[in-house]
A = this chain, B = another copy of it.
Amino acid sequence: MLSNSRTRRIEWSDCDPAGIVFYPRYFSMFDTSTTMLFEKALGMSGAEIYTHYDVIGYPIVDVRARFLVPVGYRDEISIESTVAEFRRSSFDMQHRLLKDGALAVEAIETRVWAKKHPDDPVRLKAQPIPQEIIDKLSA
């Protein structure tokens, strides 16, 4: 499977009064990493992907995360992201956040390939994942 790896520094804005990352912000980092992986695979920007495939994106339906090591202000981390499994219209993203080479946070997100529902702009309608997307993300 294709993977995306990036490094990032923990900023003041990421941290809470305990001086560590406020945990919802990890998911924001993972969301960006998911987009980066798709952009890398498809050679298009996130916005272009949505237009080209006529989807609203890949909204999340399920997430599981484990927090093993606290990460603090100014820590240098790396995030490795890959698709762990494809299904007909959903897939599992796996994110591993490392600090000093050790696994600090691990998450599995289940996302669906979806359009806006024709009858209600807030609802979503799952679509089969195009084979070329599976092929390129599996490269």
Which residues of A line the B interface, CB within 8 A?
A: 11-13, 15-20, 22-28, 31-32, 35, 45-47, 56-57, 59-68, 70-74, 121-124
The answer to whether B62 touches A65 (Cβ under 8 A) is yes
State how many angstroms separate the Cβ of A105 from the closest Cβ of chain B: 10
Residues on B with beta carbons closer than 8 Å to the beta carbon of A15: 16-17
Within the assembled complex, what's the spacing in Å between the Cα atoms of A44 and B18? 19
CB < 8 Å: which of B13, B17, B67, B123 contacts A12? B17
Residues on B with beta carbons closer than 8 Å to the beta carbon of A31: 11-13, 22-24
The answer to whether A19 touches B17 (Cβ under 8 A) is yes
The answer to whether A32 touches B13 (Cβ under 8 A) is yes
State how many angstroms separate the Cβ of A116 from the closest Cβ of chain B: 8
The answer to whether B18 touches A57 (Cβ under 8 A) is yes
CB < 8 Å: which of B19, B24, B47, B72 contacts A24? B24
State how many angstroms separate the Cβ of A13 from the closest Cβ of chain B: 5
Within the assembled complex, what's the spacing in Å between the Cα atoms of A29 and B63? 16
Within the assembled complex, what's the spacing in Å between the Cα atoms of A65 and B123? 19
Closest residue of chain B to A65 (Cβ to Cβ) is: B63
